[in-house]
Structure 1
C-alpha cells in the first residue's frame, strides 16, 4: 500500500459545531414526535429536557478529556488510556455499533423520502445513489464536507424556525392548545417519570453527534477549540429540540391528527403551513438527513482510523490516510459498504440498536474523568477539584446509566450480542487474553496521524488560551 498521509488541520470552531449539529439532524424532532408523544402522554419537551441535562453533564466530561488526550477516538481513547486498553477496546467496539449504524439510518431515511416521492422506482436505486454520492464527498476532503454540511444545516434550521413562526400564528388563532405560553407540554395530569425516562432514551438518539465532534480533534486548527465546540453543539442542538418540540406539542397535544404516528413529519408540515410549506419542510428534512449522513460518515471513519493506528484493527487498511485528500479512504469506503445494507433492514430495527453503544460510551467518558483526575494523576485536592473531577462526572455517569437500563429490550439484546462478538474478537487477538492490547501500539503511527496545530489566532480565537494538554498516562 502507498505511503500514508496525515489528517489536515483546517477546521475552525464553527465548522466543527456545524458538523456536530448536522450530525444531530435538527428535523429529527418531528420524525420521532409521534412516538415520543405517545410514550410520554404528550410531554415530548420534558423528555428532551431530561436528555439535555444528561448530555450537558456528559459534555463537560468530554471537554475535560479531549484536552488531556487531544486525538480522535473519543470514549475508546479515553477509556483505553485511563482505565485499561482492553476495556477501552470494548468501549470502542460497542460505540462502533451506533457510529456505523447512524450513516445507514440516514441512508434509510433518505430512501424512505425518495420512495414517497417516486414510488415506482426500485428502492435499491436510492440506496446506491445516496451511498456513492456521500462516500465521494466525504472522501474528497474534510473542508469540502464541512462546507457542504453548513449549507444543508442552514436550510434545515431555517425551516424549523419557520415552523415555530407558523405554529405561533396558528396557536394565536385558537388551534391546538390555543395559547403560546403554557406549562402543559412539560407537565400535566397523567405524565409519569418512568414514561418520561423511556421517552428520554428515544430522544437520546437526537443528541448523538455532540460527542462525535471529538473525532475531528486531529483536524481542528487548535485542540483548545474542542471543549467549546462540544458544549456549543449540545446546547445549541438541545435548544432547537426543546423549542421545536414545545411548539409542536402545543399545536398537537396528542396524536389524534396523525395518520402515520411513526413518522408524522410530512403531516406536521401540511397541518402547520399547508402544501407549499409541507414541500419546503420535506426538503429541509431531506437536507438535514444528508447533513447528518455526511457528518456521521466522516466521524466513524476517524474512529476506525484511530483503532487502526493503535493496531487493534488491521493497521495497513484501517490506519491508512490518503496523502492527497488527507482522508482515511479505506474506512470511508467501508462505511459506504455498510450503508448499502439499508436495502435490507428496517428503520425501526436499526434505530433501536443505536442508543445502546452511545449510552455505554457516555457513561464511560464520565467515569474516565474520575479515573484520570482522582486516581491516575491525583489532582483531586480540594472541594473545587472534587466537584469538577468527581461529583460532576459521577452525576453524568449515573444519569446515563439510568437511561441505559431504560432502553427497550430490542436495543439491550442487540447491543449485548454485538458486545459478545467484540469480546470474542478481543480474546482471539490477544490469544486468550495472554497478550496485552498495548503490545499492538505503534507510537510513530499515532504521532504522524495529523499535522501540527495552527496558531490559535485562526477561526474561533479570541478567548484566553487554555492550559496545554496533559501528557497521556500510559501503562
Structure 2
C-alpha cells in the first residue's frame, strides 16, 4: 500500500512531494512539542532517586554491555542517514550551491539533536530496566505513559512519518538513478528519461517503488530470527556507512595528504569519522554484511564492465552555477 501511494505522489512532481512533506513535518513537529511537555510533567510529577535518575540513560553499570550498545547504535544510524540525499535535488533548488549545503547541514544537526533528546527523555519516562509490551512500538508506550492520549496520537504520527520518509527516500533514489542514467552509468534510455509534463524521472520512481514492494515481501522471508525491518535497516546502513567511510577517506587525502601545509584540523576529524563509521559497520548483523557484500560485489562488477576495468569515468555530477 505504502509503495503504491509513494509512487503515485512522487510521479506528480517534486513540488507535490515537497508540499506534502512540508505539511507532514509541521504536524509531526507539533506532536514532538506536545510529547516533550507531557514527558516533563510526568518526570517532575513523579518521585525519583535524584541526580542518578537523570544520568542513568547514559550509563548504568548494572545493564551496560558494550557489544549490545554498538549493535544497537549500528541499527540506530538509520535515523541519521539520508540527509546527504538532499544533494540529489540540486537541479530543483534555488541557488543550489548555498541552499543545498545549508539544508544538508541543518537537517543533520536538527535530526541529531532532536532524536538524541527524544530518546533520552523516553528513557526517563520508561527506564531500560522495564521491558516493553512490544519493542517494535516502544515509543507509543512511552508516549502513552507520559500522557494517555499520546499513545494513539504518536501511533498515528509514526504512520504519517512513514509517508514523509518514504516519499523523500523514493524521490532521492529516483533522482540518483536519473543522474547515473544521464551519465551512462546505467542504461540511459530507461534511467535517464524524464516525464515531459511532470519533469520527474518517472521510470525511476516506478522502478524504486517496485523494488521497495518486492523487498517488503522478500526481506521478511530471508531475515530468519530477525525481523524484515531490522535486516532492511542493516542493509541500508551497510551501504551508508561504507559511503561515509569513503567520504572521510577522500577528505583526509584531499585536505591533509595532498595539502602542503599539514594541519591537525584536517587530520583528526576525517580519521575519527572514518573509524567511528568502521566500528559501527563492523557491528552490523552478519547476515546484513554478507548480503551487502554480495550486492556491492555486483555493483563493482557492473562498474568495471561499464568503465572497461575502471579506465574511464563511471559518473559525473555537476552542480548548476550559483545564482547572483
Q: Same fold (TM over 0.5)?
A: yes
Equivalenced residue count is 313
For residue 196 of structure 1, the aligned residue among 69, 76, 81 is 69
Go from structure 1 to structure 2 and tell me whether the alpha carbon gap of 1:309 and 1:177 turns closer, same or farther (over 3 Å shift): farther
Structure 2 counterpart of 1:334: 207
For residue 184 of structure 1, the aligned residue among 53, 56, 59 is 56
Shift of 1:388: 4.6
Aligned pair 1:404/2:277, yes or no?
Answer: no
> Which digits, 9 at most, give the CA deviation of each residue in 1:33-58, with x for residues without a partner?
xxxxxxxxxxxxxxxxxxxxxxxxxx
Q: Distance in 1 between matches of 2:266 and 2:102?
A: 18
Aligned pair 1:241/2:120, yes or no?
Answer: no
Shift of 1:353: 1.5
Structure 1 counterpart of 2:293: 416
Aligned pair 1:214/2:87, yes or no?
Answer: yes
For the residue of structure 2 that corresponds to 1:218, the secondary structure is coil
Structure 2 counterpart of 1:325: 198
Structure 2 counterpart of 1:261: 135
For residue 240 of structure 2, the aligned residue among 338, 355, 358 is 358
Q: Distance in 1 between matches of 2:281 and 2:179?
A: 26
Shift of 1:180: 11
Structure 2 counterpart of 1:455: 323
Q: Distance in 1 between matches of 2:67 and 2:105?
A: 28
Q: Distance in 2 between matches of 1:417 and 1:174?
A: 52
Go from structure 1 to structure 2 and tell me whether the alpha carbon gap of 1:423 and 1:176 turns closer, same or farther (over 3 Å shift): farther
For residue 157 of structure 1, the aligned residue among 29, 32, 35 is 29
Structure 1 counterpart of 2:226: none
* Contact 1:363–1:401 (CA under 8 A) maintained in structure 2: yes
For residue 348 of structure 1, the aligned residue among 225, 230, 243 is 230
Shift of 1:192: 4.3
Q: Distance in 1 between matches of 2:7 and 2:50?
A: 46
Shift of 1:179: 7.5
For the residue of structure 2 that corresponds to 1:421, the secondary structure is helix
> Which digits, 9 at most, give the CA deviation of each residue in 1:210-240, with x for residues without a partner?
1211222222212122222222111100111
Q: Distance in 1 between matches of 2:175 and 2:134?
A: 37
Go from structure 1 to structure 2 and tell me whether the alpha carbon gap of 1:231 and 1:181 turns closer, same or farther (over 3 Å shift): farther
> Which digits, 9 at most, give the CA deviation of each residue in 1:349-390, with x for residues without a partner?
322322100100111011122333456xx4x2335xx34544
Structure 1 counterpart of 2:169: 296
* Contact 1:175–1:251 (CA under 8 A) maintained in structure 2: no
1:62-101 maps to which residues of 2 (within 5 A)? Answer: none
Q: Distance in 2 between matches of 1:177 and 1:167?
A: 17
Q: Distance in 1 between matches of 2:255 and 2:23?
A: 40
Aligned pair 1:270/2:136, yes or no?
Answer: no
Structure 2 counterpart of 1:284: 157
Shift of 1:320: 1.6
For residue 382 of structure 1, the aligned residue among 249, 256, 261 is 261
**RMSD of the alignment, in Å?**
2.6
1:23-38 maps to which residues of 2 (within 5 A)? Answer: none
> Which digits, 9 at most, give the CA deviation of each residue in 1:306-344, with x for residues without a partner?
111221210111112223222111111101111222244
* Contact 1:138–1:294 (CA under 8 A) maintained in structure 2: yes
* Contact 1:153–1:287 (CA under 8 A) maintained in structure 2: no
Query: What are structure 2's unaligned runs of at least 5 residues?
Result: 221-228
Q: TM-score, normalised by structure 2?
A: 0.87
Query: What are structure 1's unaligned runs of at least 5 residues?
Result: 1-126, 457-475
Shift of 1:304: 0.7
Q: TM-score, normalised by structure 1?
A: 0.61
Aligned pair 1:436/2:308, yes or no?
Answer: no
* Contact 2:81–2:240 (CA under 8 A) maintained in structure 1: yes
Q: Distance in 2 between matches of 1:422 and 1:160?
A: 40
> Which digits, 9 at most, give the CA deviation of each residue in 1:421-445, with x for residues without a partner?
22333344456x2x7342x77x8xx
Shift of 1:253: 1.0
Shift of 1:156: 1.5
Go from structure 1 to structure 2 and tell me whether the alpha carbon gap of 1:369 and 1:187 turns closer, same or farther (over 3 Å shift): same
* Contact 2:125–2:142 (CA under 8 A) maintained in structure 1: no
